[in-house]
Amino acid sequence: MPKISYRIEKDSLGEVKVPRKALWGAQTQRAVDNFPISGIKMDFPFTNSFVDSLGLIKDAAAKANKSLGLLPARKASAISKAAKEVWQSKHNEHFPLDVFQTGSGTSSNMNANEVIANLASKYSGLDIDPNDDVNMSQSSKMLFLLPLK
């Protein structure tokens, strides 16, 4: 069995070990570690469509925030590129959460924010924050419900 290497991610709660090749960050890793409720991962057709929808929403939000002058053009472009890859199902393996979560969908929202921020940072060379940039002008609760409508 291959040995997994880790990187250290930091958030408001401190440090957490995240698999080195993972596109997610500290908050997603905490959800994986602390909430293995059912053992059923978000990797079947309905949940893949749900993740695709999150990418589509994040893409639209980046474009809207750019047009409103809230998000610099280079960041918006990088976020849109990364979000498009998410809604094209190119990174489904980076959504490791249990299908059962809190009602507000914070874990799924942060998972999407972290994956998109890491991809966008890689593509642009900019420091793109999952909360301040990718999640700009959004609410976890509303974002989680929108794909279900």
Question: From first to last of its 149 residues, what are the pLDDT tens digits of the chain?
Answer: 678 899 999 999 999 999 999 999 999 999 999 998 898 888 777 788 889 999 999 999 999 999 999 999 999 999 999 999 999 999 999 999 998 887 678 899 999 999 999 999 999 999 999 999 999 999 877 777 776 65
> CA 71 from chain center: how many Å?
18
* Predicted local distance difference test score (pLDDT) of residue 147: 67
**pTM exceeds 0.85:** yes
* Predicted local distance difference test score (pLDDT) of residue 126: 99
* Predicted local distance difference test score (pLDDT) of residue 116: 99
Say if CB 31 and CB 25 are below 8 A apart: no
User: Which amino acid, residue 139?
Assistant: S
d(CA 108, CA 52): 12
- Which two structure tokens, joined as six digits, stand for 110? 């942060």
Say if CB 124 and CB 74 are below 8 A apart: yes
Domains of the chain by range and CATH? Answer: 24-148 (1.10.275.10)
* Predicted local distance difference test score (pLDDT) of residue 100: 86
* Predicted local distance difference test score (pLDDT) of residue 110: 95
User: Which amino acid, residue 101?
Assistant: Q
Residue 2, class by beta-carbon neighbours within 10 Å (0-12 exposed, 13-18 middle, 19+ buried)?
exposed
